[in-house]
Amino acid sequence: DVYKRQGYNYRKSVATHRFLGLELMRVFPPNARMVGAVANDDWENEGEGAISSWQDFEAFSWPDPENADFSVLEYYEKNLPQDMRTFAVIDLWEVVRPLFGFENFCFKLYEDQELIEAVTRKVAEFNLAVIRAYCDFDCHAVIYLSDDLGFKSSTMLAPDTIRKLFMPWHKAMADLAHKKGKFVFFHSCGQMYELMDDYIDFVGIDAKHSFEEVVLPVTEVKKLYGSRLSLLGGVDVDLLARSNEKTIRIKTRDILDNCVPGGGYFLGTGNWVTNYIPLENYLTMLDEGRNWDGS
């Protein structure tokens, strides 16, 4: 019943993960992710959001983490195969931004930064409460912080703004997860490498995801940071979407040749697996990974 309520079949999901060679299964406990309260699958209004003033802040219906339904994890705790674990995505900037609207947020940085700090605290405290609950489950292995901090050529905000407003909260979340014996993965698209040392040394992330050939190929990231954290994915989404089998196999093999030595590399796509990637191209990448022997 718990899986029917969440809209998918448990046995089918486990079988699919087995077929693809995936050991981590993402979970979506109802009411455990604040983004669901502020956004949906439509285009985001970048001009303004629900909050522009202290009056809006006080009137906003902030979700209560006590309402989160973790019955799906209770089910996993009893039924998930012993060699599989779960993970959940936690957003901060990706929630704060739509609450204000990006344009409005930028104005508030100069007009009322205290309001931004108050909203960020609300979102972060919700996240911390949810992380505590996740960490109570032995089957849950990873807290996956996900905030797109960059675009093709720069960070979305000044690096010092990110360091001041968001990084301390990311550290608090990572510290809590580590204290409970969980791994911390970090997803960020774009050119955010000016902040990488901070996220490795200050926040303490264990692994990084999202790599784009036009920003910095994963093979180059391996050279720069591979001795200090693990790397997740890196086979470019554009390449998977538009290339032929031979090209995908050559690229996948090259990434494995350069990233596997020394350990700390997980084969996968540069970003999330988009619905415009032909299935056969994705399976080709996985097949090349299974056949790779380092020779």
pLDDT one-digit tens code per residue, 123-163: 999 999 999 999 999 999 999 999 999 999 999 999 999 99
Confidence bin at 36 (pLDDT 50/70/90): low
> In angstroms, how far apart are the furthest CA atoms of the chain?
64
Whether 1 shows a pLDDT value over 70: the answer reads no
Give the pLDDT confidence score for residue 10 in this predicted structure.
Answer: 81
**Per-chain mean pLDDT for the chain:** 93
Give the model's pLDDT for residue 267: 97
Q: What is the mean pLDDT of residues 31-42?
A: 66
- pLDDT over 80 at 75, yes or no: yes
Query: For 40-44, 127-131, 136-140, 271-275, which range has the lowest pLDDT when averaged over its residues?
Result: 40-44
For residue 5, the model assigns a pLDDT of: 58
Domain ranges of the chain: 2-210
pLDDT surpassing 90 at residue 244: yes
Task: Using alpha carbons only, give the angle 206, 211, 216 rounded to the nearest 5 degrees.
Answer: 110
Q: Is the pLDDT of residue 196 over 70?
A: yes
Q: Provide the pLDDT for residue 285.
A: 98
- Average pLDDT score over residue span 241-245: 97
Angstrom distance (rounded) from CA 128 to CA 172: 8
Q: What is the DSSP string of the chain?
A: -HHHHHTS-HHHHHHHHHHHT--EEE---TT--THHHH--SS---SS--S-SSHHHHHHS-PPPGGG---HHHHHHHHHS-TT-EEEEEE-SHHHHHHHH-HHHHHHHHHH-HHHHHHHHHHHHHHHHHHHHHHTT-TTEEEEEEE---B-SSSBSS-HHHHHHHTHHHHHHHHHHHHHTT-EEEEE--SS-GGGHHHIIIII--SEEE---TTT--HHHHHHHHTTTSEEE--B-HHHHHH--HHHHHHHHHHHHHHHSTTS-EE--BSSS--TTS-HHHHHHHHHHHHH----
CATH 3.20.20.210 is the classification of domain 2-210:
yes
Q: What is the mean pLDDT of residues 87-96?
A: 96
